[in-house]
Chain A
């Protein structure tokens, strides 16, 4: 029957396929810079300009929370060249040697940063991270759908929403806990298990009322699927630019302030190019274009000098001194994190 010949042909096919797979996986030419970022940070045009100038192609992928970034890196996502952890996550990753030390000689534009951002408590001297932007976490409301008294915005608006079926919470453990902790007058960084357990029960009830968890509420706000969103200021301001009825508030009880940073994971194989990418976004011209198009707050002194007075006084991007007093950074939870993780798993189940 000649079945042996078939076997021979098949073995040839198998060998050919195997060698093609081998060749294709060795030659990922041209090398690409893999950037893990939050949605809506980098306008296409500015990334394209980077590729034109340097010949380095860039691929963006998106995370929903710092915890997701952390877990993905741990689960073998070794291809990332740039990650964007927030403040507390920089500390955590640094302590687990997941970030590689930055070579400041490759980052001449670092001197454009404001002094404050050169010596942040979680990474003084920018040894492992460079702040890209900062912002707050609060509530965005579509005011054409939800009437409100704008002087008295509380976390209650989100957590006991008047339109629960049009309300979304961030898909982010620390942020959701913070909102409820603020409402009850606790610190967002409390490590008291009893308080956290009470908070969890409250979230469990809220969860049954609200429409969904999403860390990308902007498109949903714009499509009017939701009217009230737990949101990062950057996304809120972008949504407002497209629909002026959407307004952003930091609740009276207080809010979270965060920085999002550039960092290079230890596993990156394109560290030189990654430095070039960071330096490119520290360049005032590029940073200015990014900040304008994506409506972000900048830690860059030279960029701030170039902004118009109107831009600089947007309270949604640059909160006033009074508001600053009620903004808090999230801090490392230590061993309590595991307890909180379990609570969150139970909440999402």
Chain B
């Protein structure tokens, strides 16, 4: 195969460079005595201070809890849907297909505000539960599509072959079916977790006053004036996201979806 055009390669590297500049700048600021001044010298102060600010740790924990629970909920619902529908995918009426696509296509502002109205109408108190449910409401569709791919790959002949070789139904389940489905479930779960952990707008609308997730905290800190601890936090978050991407990419099933976002 011919090598890529040098101009194309240049655009690629410039684009990657520009994508990283804001992040590297944040990381750099973490280690500057005065984050506003490039010549102010190296310090670990802000990073250490971060570990003593409960004001940032608590939202982080809240975000993690919400992420775990909403991802589990989304996996349950989305996988059930995929299990029920994977044999019918080509036969599904357009209305149903649109319904499944709706959470993915609807802009977040509309999803968030309509959920807010929905909860208010039901007189549900806004808080932890509403945010978890709201996150799961849009990530379930993503899980559904991942699981669909996974189930299509599932070969019924494998199970038949196992049966012919004398495997009992529960053996087939534990040795053949489950190992073939679990990677999809893991990938879907990680994706749903990341979507939830990253979400700002939908939490903004459905959290009421009683709850602060990490993105909400960062948003309010940005508004009232930036504290250097925030830079420390950015450093930490960039590390976490790098780790998550590597984890997701290492799973073939979720790779495609990481990339689609």
Contacts and interface: CB of A to CB of B under 8 A. Distances in A.
Contacts, number: 114
A320 to B, nearest CB: 30
Contact of B173 (A2, A13, A24, A64): A2
Q: Is the interface of B mostly helix, strand, loop or mixed?
A: helix
Interface in B175-210: 177-178, 181, 208-210
A308 interface: no
B204 to A, nearest CB: 11
Contact of B178 (A6, A64, A223): A6
A43 interface: no
B76 A216 contact: no
A5 interface: yes
B72 A6 contact: no
Interface residues of A, number: 40
A208 interface: no
Interface of B: 36, 55, 65, 69, 72-73, 75-77, 79-80, 83, 116, 119-120, 125-129, 132-133, 154, 156, 159, 169-170, 172-173, 177-178, 181, 208-212, 220, 223-226
Contacts of A219: 224-226
A53 interface: no
Contact of B225 (A20, A61, A218): A218
A75 B116 contact: yes
A21 B69 contact: yes
Contact of A10 (B80, B169, B223): B80
Contact of A21 (B125, B128, B209): B128
B108 to A, nearest CB: 17
A191 B127 CA distance: 39
19 contacts: A1-B159, A2-B173, A2-B178, A11-B76, A14-B72, A14-B76, A21-B73, A21-B129, A21-B133, A25-B129, A28-B127, A40-B224, A77-B209, A79-B125, A79-B127, A79-B208, A216-B225, A218-B225, A222-B225
A3 B224 contact: no
Given A21-B132, A25-B127, A39-B224, A76 B120 contact: yes
A125 B226 CA distance: 39
Contacts of B76: 10-11, 13-14, 17
A36 B159 CA distance: 60
Interface string A90-110: 000000000000000000000
Interface of A: 1-3, 5-7, 10-11, 13-14, 16-18, 20-22, 24-25, 28, 34, 36, 39-40, 44, 59, 61-62, 64, 72, 75-80, 216, 218-219, 222-223
User: Quick one: which of B80, B116, B133, B223 has the most chain A CB within 10 A?
Assistant: B223
B120 to A, nearest CB: 5
B73 A76 contact: no
A2 B177 contact: yes
A62 B224 contact: yes
B69 A1 contact: no
A61 B125 CA distance: 18
B69 A79 contact: no
A77 B208 contact: yes
